Structure 1
């Protein structure tokens, strides 16, 4: 098994994980910042005020980008299975 090929696939997996997390994390960050700004302007310190909109926004982000996320995962899995014999043979 060639170590550079294995490391290449590991890096590809980490990049894919970062790409898949990005829509959800950015959505939570933007909504959390907006709610935090609203709370600081109005001095309302209610915990559910920050949690419920953030959870709803993340759910919408999952609904919007879920198909793309699954198709990226399936494509990467197909790539792994295609390259598996080469990785095992050392080529």
Structure 2
């Protein structure tokens, strides 16, 4: 295996990881920002008020995007598994 192939595999894996994390964390960040602005405007300092909506949005996001995320991971694994003969030889 040449260094170029190893770097290409690492880059593909890192890109996929960032993409999957962004799909989950992005909506949670947006909801957290909205709830924080609401808390600042109303001066409500309740910790569960900021945690619960983010948790619910994250769970809904995983339920909606979960099949796509699983298929992307399986596609990457299939490409990696099928490339083993070229990587060894």
Report the TM-score, using the length of structure 1 for normalisation: 0.95
Q: Give the superposed CA RMSD.
A: 0.6
Q: CA deviation at 1:27?
A: 0.8
Q: State the alpha-carbon separation in 2 of the partners of residues 84 and 6 from structure 1.
A: 12
- 1:30 is matched with 30
Aligned to 2:40: 40
- For structure 1, the residue ranges without an aligned partner over 5 or more in a row are none
Give matches, 1:1-91, under 5 Å: 1-89=1-89
**Structure 2: 5+ residue runs without aligned partners?**
none
Moved over 2 A (4+): none
Q: Structure 2-normalised TM-score? A: 0.97
Per-residue displacement from partner, 1:63-85 (whole Å, max 9, x unpaired)?
01000000000000000001111
Task: Please state how far the C-alpha of 1:40 moved relative to its aligned partner.
Answer: 0.3
Q: CA deviation at 1:14?
A: 0.2
Q: How many equivalent pairs are there? A: 89
